[in-house]
Amino acid sequence: MKFSGFRVVAEALKGNTGWRPLWRNPEPENEYDYLIVGGGGHGLATAYYLAKTFRQSRIAVLEKSWLGSGNIGRNTTIIRSNYLLPGNQPFYEFSMKLWEGLEQELNFNAMVSQRGVINLIHSDSQRDAFRRRGNSVMLSGAGARLLSREDLRSIAPFLNFDDERFPIRGGLLQPRGGTARHDGVAWGYARGADLHGVDLIQNCEVTGFRIVDGRIRGVETTRGYIGAGKVGVAVAGSSGRVMAMAGMRLPIESHVLQAFVSEGLKPTLPGVITFGAGHFYISQSDKGGLVFGGDIDGYNSYAQRGNLPVIEGAAECAMALMPSLGRARLLRMWGGLMDMSMDGSPIIDRTDVEGLYFNGGWCIGGFKATPASGYAFAHLLATNTPHETARSYRLDRFARGYVIDETGTGAQPNLH
Ligand code: FAD
């Protein structure tokens, strides 16, 4: 399709009647080889790699609402691979490498922008922890730089360096980190999957699993029963509810995470800045809006709706970090459902039901994982063996004591 400024103007004058949808809108077949439940980033990426890379066919994605209506379209778009633990680091670095080639792979502008991610340091002990993380990240080849207070001041002079409670002593920079346009990622994977023959079925909620003699046979949906050879579940914040329909209780709780965007401003922020001590992080979108967020809401919920105390907390942190923000107007805020695992790391695994696979537990940081998660889940579904970077993401690690407790390192709740 030809896409130019002239075309946009011509379409506007014609009432936008000439645009063609990026994917088909098929009726569901009676049966597929593979059903992916959840049309978020992870489900769409899984379907794409399953068809394109692993050359499987007869695949459908079942989405209860519209594609991209969940967290893939609600997140704050941060990507990075500065993970510390051996269970996580290779996986997130694999994801970063996929991000770096994603636009060529999908022939779609996902606005991947490696403008750098800085984690602020407020104390000597935090500097030690971040130095350790930085060294480990450098050893893995993902790239990191420890910034002194003066280095940081030259990059971000507007920060409140001398806050009484949380003076800023420096930062840890991952130059290859940055942002990507979240819904562009969903659309790119959706179009790519559709071009490879995947049926993307919207407004189709999975309401039950048909399991016979310990094997999956298909799913019940709001559009009728659909048979399947294998079923992969990637429903993020709805993981607990959906897997309960297969008789499973997961080590996952759902919480709301809220985010905020200001009116458009001139370029102000150099990249992403995380203020772990204050539970706050911020970046600037290409449109100029300051995009920021805080911590998860404290109680469990399946409602994509936030609460006022968290809004107040985020605003207070914003003022503590960047007092000049007080003059910007807040444009809007929203919430998404987080699938919080008990060690902060994800699960990509088979289940006790033959042919039923699970992908979830992404907590507050699954957007950056989208490419690797899709690739690894497709690998698992196609070959029945885990991808080499996702071997640690087993469901039984909680029972065996092999947790990947990355929540305990530094200011993790705010690293995103
Ligand atoms: P989703 O897009 O939520 O996809 C799951 C889909 O499953 C949904 O579309 C849902 O409708 C569908 N579904 C649910 N139940 C059913 C059913 N029964 N039948 C059929 N379909 C069903 N991560 C980062 O890495 N960086 C960030 O900066 C970042 N910031 C965030 C900020 C906010 C405010 C939020 C909410 C999240 C943030 N995240 C971030 C986390 C990230 O967005 C998620 O971890 C990730 O998007 C989850 O995977 P997904 O895209 O597949 O989820």
Atom nearest to 44 CA in ligand 1: 52
Supply the pLDDT for residue 215: 98
Q: Write the single-letter amino acid at 281.
A: Y
What is the Å distance from ligand 1's center to 385 Cα? 25
* 6 Cα–ligand 1 center, Å: 35
For the CA of 242, the closest atom of ligand 1 is 18
Substitution candidate for ligand 1 out of 250, 281, 364 with most atoms within 8 A of CB: 364
Q: What is the pLDDT of residue 5?
A: 77
pLDDT recorded at residue 295:
86
Q: E strands, 145-205, where? A: 145-148, 170-174, 178-179, 199-201
For residue 19, give Cα distances in angstroms to 2, 15, 22, 393.
11, 10, 9, 42
**Which residue, among 57, 1, 6, 64, has the nearest Cα to 29 in the 3D structure?**
57
Q: Whose CA is nearest to atom 46 of ligand 1?
A: 366
The whole-number pLDDT of residue 191 equals 98
Residue among 311, 215, 193, 301 at smallest CA distance from 259 = 311
Which residue's C-alpha comes closest to atom 31 of ligand 1?
Answer: 75
* CATH class of this structure's domain 110-178+253-341: alpha beta
Q: Would you state the CATH architecture of domain 25-77+182-251+343-415?
A: 3-Layer(bba) Sandwich (3.50)
Check if the beta carbon of residue 151 is closer than 8 Å to that of residue 140. Answer: no
Query: E-strand spans in 141-205?
Result: 145-148, 170-174, 178-179, 199-201
Judge whether 349 and 57 are in contact, CB under 8 Å. no
| Residue 103 CB contacts under 8 Å (≥ 6 apart), including other chains | 109, 110, 112, 188
- In angstroms, what CA-CA distances link 67 with 248, 268, 286? 26, 32, 23
The predicted pLDDT at position 277 comes to: 87
Query: What pLDDT does residue 294 have?
Result: 86
Contacts of 307 (CB under 8 A, 6+ apart): 256, 297
Q: What is the pLDDT of residue 232?
A: 98
Ligand 1: which of 333, 367, 393, 415 to mutate, judged by most atoms within 8 Å of the beta carbon? Answer: 367
Return per-residue pLDDT of the chain as tens, 416 residues.
Answer: 456 778 889 999 989 998 889 999 999 999 999 999 999 999 999 999 999 999 999 999 999 999 999 999 999 999 999 999 999 999 999 999 999 999 999 999 999 999 999 999 999 999 999 999 999 999 999 999 999 999 999 999 999 999 989 999 999 999 999 999 999 999 999 999 999 999 999 999 999 999 999 999 999 999 999 999 999 999 999 999 999 999 999 999 999 999 999 999 999 999 999 998 888 999 999 999 999 998 899 889 998 888 889 989 999 999 999 999 999 999 999 999 999 999 999 999 999 999 999 999 999 999 999 999 999 999 999 999 999 999 999 999 999 999 999 865 444 444 55
**What does the block give as tokens for 29?**
């077949």
Amino acid 410: pLDDT: 40
Q: Give CATH 3.30.9.10 domain extents, the chain.
A: 110-178+253-341
Ligand 1 pocket (Cβ < 6 Å) reads: 37-43, 62-65, 69-72, 74-78, 205-206, 234-238, 242, 257-259, 293, 336, 362, 364-368, 416
Comma-separated ranges of CATH 3.50.50.60 domains in the chain: 25-77+182-251+343-415
Structure tokens at 89: 């680091």
Q: How far apart are CA 121 and CA 277, in angstroms?
A: 9
- In this prediction, residue 6 carries a pLDDT of 86
Residue 125 parent element (H or E)? helix 124-139
Cβ neighbours of residue 294 under 8 Å, at least 6 residues apart? 258, 279, 280, 310, 313, 314, 317, 414
